[in-house]
Each structure stands twice: as structure tokens, then as C-alpha cells.
Amino acid sequence: MEYKTQTRQMILDFMAGNPDRVFKASEVAKKLPSISLSTIYRNLSRLEKSGSVQVVGADENKELQYRYTGPGKCQEKMHMVCKNCGKFFHLEGPALKILTHSVEVLSGFVLDEQQSVLKGCCAACQKNV
């Protein structure tokens, strides 16, 4: 069992308070200016290993993006993230079943829904374009 530091708890609390967003470490650093960027990277890595946050890919600059997963959150759901605002959405129900079935039938590939993230532009950001 790993010791939980006050700094790690601050980062976890920030991520848990924003469960519908993805964040880069640099964005977390802006929101928590008392914590250095290197400390944020180190703690996000530990939180990922513990299952509290998940890496959902990288942006165009190859900076990793993280989301809060918390205990029991987002089981068997595919995820979508807006590339503009970073808002996080769940794809579930009939749309998910159709997508996963179609991928499997057409290619023989079985998607890991928990680990899959689709990137695009949300409705709110499309209105601002």
C-alpha cells in the first residue's frame, strides 16, 4: 500500500471535482499553482497505477491527457472527448452496442470499451465554430 500524500490528495480531489473533463498535467498545474509540474506528473503517474485516473491519449503536442476514474466509475462504457474544450462524455446504450458489434463483424476486432476513447468536437463547441 502506498502512502497518500497531501499533494496527491489535492490532485485527486481536483480530478474528482471535474469528472466530466480530461486534463493535461500543465492544466492541472495552472489550477493548482502551489504544486510544481514535475510533482503533478509524478503523482498523476501514481494515481494512474492505482486506478484513480486514466490516460486517455495525447493531444497534438503529445502531452498526455488524464481523466478521473474513481472507484467503480465508467464501467463498460466507451468514452468521447471534445478536442476543443476537453469535456468528457460517455457513449453507452444502443449506440455503443451498434458500434462495437459493427467493428467486430467487419474486422473481427473486439473493442475494450473501458479503454476506448473517441475524439471529436462536442455540440457546444460546434456552435462556436
Question: Tens digit of pLDDT per residue, the chain (129 long)?
Answer: 556 789 999 999 999 998 888 899 999 999 999 999 999 999 999 999 888 888 887 777 788 889 888 765 565 678 888 888 888 888 888 888 898 899 999 999 988 777 678 888 999 999 987
Instruction: Provide the number of structural domains found in the chain.
Output: 2
Nearest partner of 21 among 93, 87, 71, judged by Cα: 87
The CATH number of whichever domain residue 100 belongs to comes to: 3.30.1490
Question: Are 62 and 84 in the same domain?
Answer: no
Burial class (CB within 10 angstroms; exposed 0-12, middle 13-18, buried 19+) of 30: exposed
β-strands 78-82, 117-120 pairing:
parallel
Asked if residue 61 belongs to a domain, the reply is yes
Asked if residue 1 belongs to a domain, the reply is no
Asked if residue 33 belongs to a domain, the reply is yes
Asked if residue 73 belongs to a domain, the reply is no
Q: Which domain holds residue 123?
A: 78-127
Question: Are 47 and 86 in the same domain?
Answer: no
The answer to whether the predicted template modeling score (pTM) of the entire model surpasses 0.75 is: no
